[in-house]
Amino acid sequence: MRGNRVVEQDKPDLNFVVDFRFVGIEAELSVILEHRQSIERRLPGIIESERKRLEEDLKGAEPDEWYGSMQWIDEFADEVLPRLYRSPILIQLWASFESGFIEVAKYIRDQEKPVLTLGDLRASNDFERAIKYYDHVLHFSLIEIAGVNETLEMLLLVRNAIAHCNGRIEMIKPTILQKIRRWEDRGISVGVDYIGFTADFVEAMAETVQKALNDLIARVRDKY
């Protein structure tokens, strides 16, 4: 009140109210996506620098030694280095997706009060268990976008292959390797010793995780 006047407060415009729920999930994924882009921008320079450094060490080598070493250098620069830089991104992407759907599941559970928790269910892998929990306990779909399930299943397969055996072919179960081979035309390479990944494959995985989490969060915000 100013003097004898009553100053009316403007009502907040609810269209501009920021929803901070799950902002941590979005921030974490944003950092991973930016890190992936940074890696791809820097990778050509890293490869060229390593190639020059290794070739410099071959000065004065005998012809047979030189040719053999150059073959190794080409393989290291063209296959090994990209794999070493891209593999951790795939692990981070799955970790971001998994921690995201766990956090969202806990939020929905707090609203709906079901008895069972995510850990109470059994399935062949964490993704399958999450789908079952969302569908049968929370009655809220984890994934509603066509084609996303298949891509996320492949992300989980390669994530496990990297995390458990660094992508070494001889240590991947034949049934798993057979599934991985189905994606060779989409950016996975199955070499003699290791599985590798193109930039396009990693980008596709990143876009799928972002799409799945954004859609899940948007639907939860809309309902609750």
Amino acid 66: pLDDT = 86
Mean pLDDT value across the chain: 92
Phi, psi values for residue 171, rounded to 5°: -105, 0
Average the pLDDT over 174-191 and give the result: 96
Using the structure block, give the residue that is written with the tokens 């940074």: 38
Amino acid 3: pLDDT = 47
Residues whose CB falls within 8 Å of the CB of residue 43, separated by 6 or more in sequence, listed in order: 81, 82, 85, 199
Average the pLDDT over 131-148 and give the result: 98
Cα-based distances in Å from 57 to 51, 63, 73, 192: 10, 14, 11, 26
Using the structure block, give the residue that is written with the tokens 């620069």: 77
Flag whether pLDDT at 83 surpasses 90.
yes
Amino acid 60: pLDDT = 80
Instruction: Evaluate whether 191 touches 165 at the Cβ level (below 8 Å).
Output: no
Q: How does pLDDT run across 112-139, given as a tens digit for each residue?
A: 999 999 999 999 999 999 999 999 999 9
How far is the C-alpha of 223 from the C-alpha of 161, rounded, in Å? 37
Flag whether pLDDT at 76 surpasses 50.
yes
The domain locations on the chain are: 21-223
Amino acid letter, residue 61: A
In eight-state DSSP terms, residue 190 is E
Flag whether pLDDT at 23 surpasses 70.
yes
Confidence of residue 63 (pLDDT cuts 50, 70, 90): confident
Amino acid 7: pLDDT = 46
Residues whose CB falls within 8 Å of the CB of residue 93, separated by 6 or more in sequence, listed in order: 32, 155, 159, 205, 206, 209
Q: How does pLDDT run across 28-60, given as a tens digit for each residue?
A: 999 999 999 999 999 999 999 999 999 998 888
